[in-house]
Amino acid sequence: MAALDLRVDSVDNCDDEVDNRTAVEDGTKIQKRGSWLKPPWGKKEKTSSVPRQSYKGATGYTDAKIATILRDFLQPDTKLSHLDVIATILPLIPANATASAEISSFSEMCVELAEQIPYHHPSQLKFAQLLSRLGKSPKFQSKYPIEGSSEILYDKYQRLREELADATGLDEDFPYDWVNINSFQAKLYSMGTFGATPGRSFVQLRYVFERESQKPEEGRLATLERNNEIMAATQWIIWHGQTMFSFIIYDDDIKDTHICPVGDIGDATPFQPRSLERWRYWARKFEKVETWTEATDECKGLSARAARLMHVLEENMVFSG
């Protein structure tokens, strides 16, 4: 497996060690590679970050230290184990400060690195496993009181989830970033890192396949976007499809908290947001990618995989009686 050439802009584009960090007191960030650079067709602009505490210096955290550890660990030939990395990173993260600049910077860096790792590379899975284990530390957990109760719930990786949510849109210079980050999110959710939810899987499939009346844009950039959006959607089925299907067939959640409304399906027979009909509709859409003349071979291959998996999941997870 070839070595990974991983950049961290706050380190590689900064010569001053004192300023070698992505968070500053006014909450602004340096421009990042990949999905931070929004082309005109991006679905969402990067929002300004929530104000956070500036670096205190008590833990010795710097972006350079974290980047060195993670870039070594993510190489195929690394000698570092998960526990080696955890034991090195945790002392640099402040306790009881989930809104700290250190955690914000760490979260941004994780997203930036994940965007650069190919969706099929083993280091993506290794990285997701590392974050899943790191998330067990209370340093990454926020407290949430239950309304009307004295009990407390804990939520992991609030900042990381925000950074992942902001990593939307495509970049002509780094077209695979969007596919890679969707694949990485799907792996994180498949491990239960953020709890048992479908993540943003339904949102991505809705965006790709439920805009039937919208006239397709033409041109090279539109084709690039369409291919990459479809490939991004396949990643959720491939890595997280079983949980997605569980939310399709489990109908106890009356408010459909995790299921987005049905979009524009054109002349197709209407169906409910949570229904086998919607699942089958998406599977047929993946199958039709084969007939799209501008689809790349990679896009066709991934779409075929997704469609096959969807049929297998339905065949084996639906019980009668």
Of the candidates 195, 220, 251, which is a domain's last residue? 195
Q: What is the pLDDT of residue 280?
A: 97
pTM of the model: 0.86
Task: Phi first, then psi: give them for residue 264, nearest 5 degrees.
Answer: -90, 110
Q: What is the pLDDT of residue 205?
A: 97
Of the candidates 174, 195, 216, which is a domain's last residue? 195
Same domain for 147 and 290, yes or no, is no
Q: What is the pLDDT of residue 313?
A: 98
What torsion do the CA atoms of 115, 32, 171, 174 make, to the nearest 10 degrees?
-50
d(CA 227, CA 223): 6
Same domain for 242 and 93, yes or no, is no
Q: Who's near 53: CB < 8 A, 6+ residues apart? A: 97, 99, 100, 101
Same domain for 100 and 239, yes or no, is no
Residue-wise pLDDT for 171-225, tens only, equals: 888 889 999 999 999 999 999 999 889 999 999 999 999 998 877 778 888 899 9
Same domain for 239 and 303, yes or no, is yes
Same domain for 263 and 190, yes or no, is no
Nearest Cα residue to 173 out of 43, 38, 10: 38
Same domain for 232 and 250, yes or no, is yes
Same domain for 30 and 155, yes or no, is yes
Rg (CA), the chain: 21
Domain enclosing residue 287, as ranges: 196-321
Phi-psi region of 49 (alpha: psi -120 to 50; beta: other; left: phi over 0): beta
Same domain for 21 and 170, yes or no, is yes
Of the candidates 195, 213, 239, which is a domain's last residue? 195
d(CA 282, CA 208): 9
| Whether 27 contacts 130, CB under 8 Å | no
Same domain for 259 and 281, yes or no, is yes
Return the HEC string of the chain.
Answer: CCCCCCCCHHHHCCCCHHHCCCCCCCCCCCCCCHHHCCCCCCCCCCCCCCCCECCCCCCCCCHHHHHHHHHHHCCCCCCCCHHHHHHHHHHHCCCCCCCEHHHHHHHHHHHHHHHHCCCCCHHHHHHHHHHHHHCCCHHHEEEEECCCCCCEEEEECHHHHHHHHHCCCCCCCCCHHHHHHHHHHHHHHHCCECECCCCCHHHHHHHHHCECCCCCCCCHHHHHHHHHHHHHHHHHHHHHHHHHHHHHHCCCCCCCCCCCCCCECCCCCCCCCCCHHHHHHHHHHHHHHHHCCCCCHHHHHHHHHHHHHHHHHHHHHCCCC
State the 10-residue block means of pLDDT for the chain, 321 residues long. Answer: 91 62 40 36 40 56 95 97 97 87 94 96 97 95 88 90 85 90 97 91 95 81 93 98 92 66 93 94 98 96 98 93 60
d(CA 186, CA 120): 12
Same domain for 175 and 200, yes or no, is no
Q: How many domains does the structure of the chain reveal?
A: 2
Same domain for 207 and 316, yes or no, is yes
Q: What is the pLDDT of residue 251?
A: 63
* Residue tagged 């369409």 (tokens): 226
Same domain for 84 and 208, yes or no, is no
